[in-house]
Amino acid sequence: MIYKSYLVEQNINIFKNNLILIFGENLGLINEFQEKIREINKTKKIIKFSQDDILKNQTILFNEVNNMSLFEDAKIIFIDRVNDKILELIKEIQPQVDKNKIFLTGDVLEKKSKLRNYFEKSDNCDVVVCYKDNEINIKNLINYKLKDFTGVTPQITKTLIENCGLDRIKLSNEIDKIKSYFNEKNIKIDQLYKLLNLKSEEDFDSIKDYALKGDNSLTNNLLSSTIFEIEKIPLYLTIINQRLNKLKDVLDLTKKENLIVKINNIKPPIFWKDKPNFLDQAKIWNMKKINIALKKTYELELSIKSKANVNKDLLIKKLILDICVIANS
């Protein structure tokens, strides 16, 4: 019988037969199914083989299936990394399985796969295909796994998805960290950033400075590990605007003064720690570049205000990368 993966997620005891094939590109989901099967069969003997183990010595599988003690409950046998090579052996052992359950797991099996076809057409076998997750699946998974926690805002969910992508294995590891760290079951975004080793908005000035200096490598590296708080994006745009206009003010001063004198005389003054960065930026920017960057910043601000469903985090990252490109033009 063929089962949908979401039905198996809801009820791991759904299988009716003793030979079960679980396969697909979603290795994280397959791992979860294996863990759930182990969890509900704690009292039973659980054995794990790889297909290579079995094919090298077929007797080990027959021995496990047929040798049962009087006091032993039915066994759970996992055979990992299966493909068509194991099919004839499965056909041979199927009548002997009895009360035991054998779970075969593997990666993608094409529709022409003999093993897949055998399981899908047999009334005495079960099969479930684990297709790749989409964002909705992952959001639902996060909400389910953190259902006992408060503070699971859309920003928390977004942070986890952006950090883990659609990788269930990585997500599961991160959620385990969260459950261990937040003992009071109240998740806070700033603590989550630290826990997941993510950069927060505190690093925005550094990112902005590297972009304005045209440092592609450092800008990209920082952006890849940074998730901006959506509520603070207007503030980030203001910071970019202020720096561009400050550069414009310096370049507007009389050309008779050298650059360092201009920077020292600008009002309001530039903080002394920021002067080295500002000097490096002033050396590579001109009025034309500044006006292009200011226009892009203004356009992004309008877009964010007029469109509710845009990915603001992605858009500001694109703006920063655009500024880096302009700096190098």
Reply yes or no on whether the pLDDT at 94 is more than 50.
yes
Q: Tell me what the mean pLDDT of segment 21-48 comes to.
A: 94
- The helix/strand/coil state of 105 is strand
Q: Is a pLDDT exceeding 80 seen at residue 71? A: no
How far apart (Å, rounded) are the C-alpha atoms in residues 9 and 69? 32
φ/ψ of 314, rounded to 5, equals: -65, -40
CB 326 within 8 A of CB 310: no
Hey, which residues does 51 pair with through a beta bridge? none
- Write down the domain spans for the chain: 2-129, 135-195, 201-328
Residue 141: count of CB within 10 angstroms of its CB: 20
The angle at the Cα of 165, spanning 205 to 237, to the nearest 5 degrees, equals 25
Q: Using CA atoms, how far apart are residues 301 and 163, in angstroms rounded to an integer?
A: 26
Is residue 5's pLDDT more than 80? yes
Class of the domain covering 2-129? alpha beta
Lowest mean pLDDT among 116-120, 185-189, 271-275: 271-275
Cα–Cα distance for residue pair 121/96, rounded to 1 Å: 20
Q: Which of 15-29, 228-242, 249-263 has the highest mean pLDDT?
A: 15-29
Q: Given this model, what pLDDT does residue 255 score?
A: 57
Q: Is 312:229 a contact under the CB 8 Å cutoff?
A: no
| Tens of pLDDT, residues 191-219 | 887 787 665 555 788 899 999 999 998 88
Q: Which of 40-49, 214-223, 287-296, 317-326 has the lowest mean pLDDT?
A: 214-223
- Given a cut of 90, whether residue 15 has pLDDT beyond it is yes
Domain spanning 201-328: CATH 3.20.20.80: no
Q: What percent of the chain has pLDDT over 70?
A: 95
Tokens (6 digits) for 197: 């080793």
Whole-structure pTM value: 0.61
Helix (H) or strand (E) holding 20: strand 19-23
**pLDDT top residue among 256 and 313:** 313
Check residue 73 and report its DSSP letter.
Answer: P
**Does the pLDDT value for residue 167 go beyond 90?**
no
The CA distance from 320 to 149, in Å, is 35
Position 200 scores a pLDDT of: 54
Q: Which of 37-51, 141-155, 175-189, 241-255 has the lowest mean pLDDT?
A: 241-255
Contact 322/212 with Cβ under 8 angstroms?
no
Name the residue among 216, 152, 230 with its Cα closest to residue 188.
Answer: 152
Q: State whether the Cα torsion 208-209-211-216 is positive or negative.
A: negative
Residue 89 has pLDDT above 60, yes or no: yes
Q: 137: which 2 tokens?
A: 């699946």
- DSSP for residue 186: B
Q: Could you give phi then psi for residue 9, rounded to 5 degrees?
A: -60, -40
pLDDT at 233 over 60: yes
Please state, in angstroms and rounded to a whole number, the distance separating the CA atoms of residues 298 and 317: 15
| Distance (Å, whole) CA 20 – CA 92 | 15
Q: Interior CA angle at 11 toward 161 and 176, to 5°? A: 35
pLDDT of residue 166: 83
Q: What is the mean pLDDT of residues 155-167?
A: 84
Average pLDDT over residues 102-123: 96
What pLDDT was estimated at residue 254?
47
The pLDDT score that the predictor gives to residue 198 is: 65
> How are strands ordered across the β-sheet holding 19-23?
2-3, 126-129, 19-23, 101-106, 76-80, 46-50
